[in-house]
Amino acid sequence: MVKNLITCFQSSFSPVLIVFLISILPVTELRGSLIAASLLHVDWRIALLVSVVGNMLPVPFILLFIKKILEYLKETKFKKIVEKLEFKADKNIEKVLKYKHWGLALFVAIPLPGTGTWTGALVAALLNIKIKEAIFFIALGSLTAGILVLMLSYGIMGMVY
């Protein structure tokens, strides 16, 4: 999927902008953007910064508007999609509740599918976590995930140079 996105964007955008755009997308997020950065030979320091910033960009909007958007969509033909999203978030709420705000950071930090900032922001919104606190702990989780994925995609020795 990341290679397809790179191919799609490569003719129009610089490698750094491609990394940024991929980091904003809900499925690929930071994890995909760092893999793309590695494939595009973007310096790892720039890749981490651009990926975390891009990954965090949608978070305040999700926290502020997701509940109203979901309520509206429940009244449309998208009801089943909303119910799946809420089920996915509900499934992860217990993990977050167990460790409170640190659980939110840990949830976002785990570099597995479905555990990024988009889902973390959805969970935080459904748990009514204060926006400032949610942003801080989601950012902490995003940075942690970024460092883990960075080490995997660039290799620890590749980061030394």
- For the stretch 8-54, pLDDT in tens is 787 889 999 999 999 999 989 999 999 999 999 999 999 999 999 99
| More confidently predicted of 102 and 112 | 102
Instruction: Tell me the average pLDDT across 53-74.
Output: 94
- For the chain, the domains span 2-160
Query: At what angle are helices 79-109 and 131-154 packed, to 10 degrees?
Result: 70
pLDDT score of 156: 67
pLDDT digits (tens, 9 = 90+) for 103-149: 899 999 998 877 899 989 988 998 889 999 999 999 999 999 999 99
Can you give the pTM of this predicted structure?
0.85
For the chain, the C-alpha Rg in angstroms (whole number) is: 16
How far is it, in rounded angstroms, from Cα 27 to Cα 10? 19
- Are the CB atoms for 62 and 125 separated by under 8 Å? yes
Three-class SS state of 115 = coil
Secondary-structure percent of the chain, ordered helix, strand, coil, rounded to 5 = 80, 0, 20
Residue in the block written with tokens 């320091």: 45
Residue 7 is predicted with a pLDDT of 81
64-76 exposure pattern, b = at least 16 Cβ within 10 A, e = fewer: eebeeebeeeeee
For position 87, what pLDDT does the model report? 82
